[in-house]
Structure 1
Amino acid sequence: MDNADNLFHPSLAAALMKLDPEDGEQIMEYFKTHALLTREKALLQASVRDQKKLLVENAKALFSLAPSPPTVNPAPTTPVDQPPSPAGATAAVPSNAPPPSSHDHRDRHSRRRRGDRKARPSSDSFSLEVEPRVDVSRLDLRVGRILSVRQHPLTDAMSVQEVDVGENAPRTVVSKLGVKTNQVVLQGSLAVLLCNVKSCKLRGVVSQARLLCCSTSDDHTELLTPPTGSTPGDRITFLNYPGDPDRELQSKQRVWELLQPDLQVDSKGVANYMGCGFEVKGKGLCRAPTLTNCAIR
């Protein structure tokens, strides 16, 4: 968000926090995220315009290098007062006609090859016009069962969970559940995990997934709860956003950061994205145990 922070004057953030102390910071993050998305879209559109301009220039260059149709010279007439040339004699070349230059031939050949190389990436330039979708279907969300919980060895603000997500081995997850979360109660419970984040070290411990929780401004945190009957490995889908998730979310695309402002718990306690609920097909919707009208992180 460093680039987005430069788009807003500090006084604007201060004024917003003064008007709405509870949700001001969240609103500001929402504005920053959308400002960054607008900037990236403008850069992409500028790149597409440059590619189109290059295609036009290459087309003009190829047209100018195309061979012109051969001209038909009239048959030479033999003067009456000159006898015909004997058989086998070669025609005299006019002294003022310049000999063909091998350098000119090589130069035309090299220009034609350069033109071919410039025109070749045309298919790639057209592919830039199709922007990748940025919606919740790109997230690999699954139901997981927390097998164990322990305190992070280097910090009290984090805990380490071993979670079964329906794979051959459990995943290690490092999370910031907050000091008010009862970690003993979490052991054996079901949770919602984001499984296609890139593995990373958090204070020396490798985290292989992300536990989704909801929280209020006073740091009260709860894990999202899958519907009754869910089992580890169940996919969480969205009715209005079909599609297969990414194999791994690329950090440079900032997919999670762009989607997070629209992940909310509504007034009924249902987890949703843009009004579409987190659903385990055939089993129901994911919910917050007690919280309502709060953000999912």
Structure 2
Amino acid sequence: MENTDDLFNPSLAAAIMKFDPEDGEQIVEYFKTHALLSREKALLQASVRDQRKLLVENGKLKKDIEQLRTQLQDKQRRRTAKALFSPPPTLSPAPITSVNQPPSSAGATAAIPTNPPPPSSQDRRERQSRRRRGERKARPTSECLSLGAEPRIDVSRLELRVGRILSVRLHPLAEAMSVQEVDVGENTPRTVVSKLGGKTNLEELQGGLAVLLCNVKACKLRGVASQARLLCCSTSDDCSEWLVPPTGSTPGDRVTFLNYPGDPDRELQSKQRVWELLQPDLQVDSKGVANYKGCGFEVKGKGLCRAPSFTNCIIR
């Protein structure tokens, strides 16, 4: 702590003690304390002024940095625009020597002809032969132009949606099949033909929610057009049950996969066999959760899709 004796005049202190011997010491201490507080106040005010000065200087530096950054970005844009719109360098044509002009020396090189040589008789015969056979020159296909890029094969290509089964009936021509009218959030319900197995209680299906593959190509199964695929899990051909969306799901809700983002195909092409390639990895785990390679069937904000009672089985 700073010595207070340096802040007060000793002669003044002696005079006060002589004037008032009883209270002089307290008066001197009061003046010393007051002098110390005054000095600390002055130091604090100087520190505040220095801090304000530093803040002003920092503000000026930030402004200068922003101006320099803006100037650098403008220069980069101008350089890019100049490179894009500047005309390509023109090649000067080779000098054409006159036919009658003699060469300047024995070692002079011949002038490069500007026109291609006329096709030989053999080339003409080959082109005429191709025309007669109806052949054309092979052109690069789009697959070659894509630099070998192949479309992705993962579950994000499937358009899986929640649907409500409005009605269910047996297929008129197949006892092992059933026909459902399903609301998937569209203007009109879709007709779905499913093979649920002989032990399935069809009455339990009506009014329930299920998971449907909606971007399959419509096809006729025993005379009835099926416009979607009802996803089921099964342990055998005679025992199966449909996947159940999480509580709170509504018809039309999209089923997605956290690890496989992306938009589904507008319609799965049969020649690509996307469903056949993905199906071995569509399974129900030991907890009854439907998943693809360990990533659950999810309705965002509502939960995971499950099998009602089956575990460790396939999805078809």
Indicate whether the TM-score tops 0.5: yes
Q: Which moved more, 1:117-126 or 1:190-199?
A: 117-126
TM-score w.r.t. the length of structure 1 is: 0.62
Cα 1:127–1:72 shift into 2, 3 Å: same
- Aligned counterpart in structure 2 of residue 140 of structure 1, from 137, 148, 159: 159
Measured on the aligned residues, the alpha-carbon RMSD in Å equals 2.9
| Whole-angstrom distance in 1 between the partners of 2:196 and 2:168 | 11
Matches within 5 A, 1:1-297: 72=97, 75-76=101-102, 105=118, 121=140, 125-217=144-236, 219-297=238-316
The aligned amino acid for 2:273 is: R
Deviation at 1:121, TM superposition (A): 3.1
Q: Which runs of 5+ in 1 are unaligned?
A: 1-67, 78-103
Deviations 1:228-273, CA, capped at 9 Å, x for gaps: 0000000000000000000100001000000000000000000000
After TM superposition, which residue ranges in structure 1, 4 or more long, deviate above 2 angstroms?
68-77, 104-108, 117-124
The aligned amino acid for 1:135 is: D
Cα 1:211–1:69 shift into 2, 3 Å: same
| Whole-angstrom distance in 1 between the partners of 2:189 and 2:203 | 19
Cα 1:193–1:122 shift into 2, 3 Å: closer
Whether the aligned pair in 1 keeps the contact of 2:197 and 2:237 (CA below 8 Å) is: no
Larger radius of gyration: 2
Deviation at 1:155, TM superposition (A): 1.4
User: What secondary structure is seen at the aligned counterpart in 2 of 1:105?
Assistant: coil
Deviation at 1:217, TM superposition (A): 2.8
Higher relative contact order (CA 8 A, sep 6+): 1
Cα 1:69–1:277 shift into 2, 3 Å: same
TM-score w.r.t. the length of structure 2 is: 0.58
| Whole-angstrom distance in 1 between the partners of 2:102 and 2:270 | 75
Partner of 1:95: none
Identity of aligned residues (%): 79
| Whole-angstrom distance in 1 between the partners of 2:142 and 2:222 | 45
Deviations 1:187-221, CA, capped at 9 Å, x for gaps: 00000000001100000000000000000036321
Task: Give the number of aligned pairs.
Answer: 201
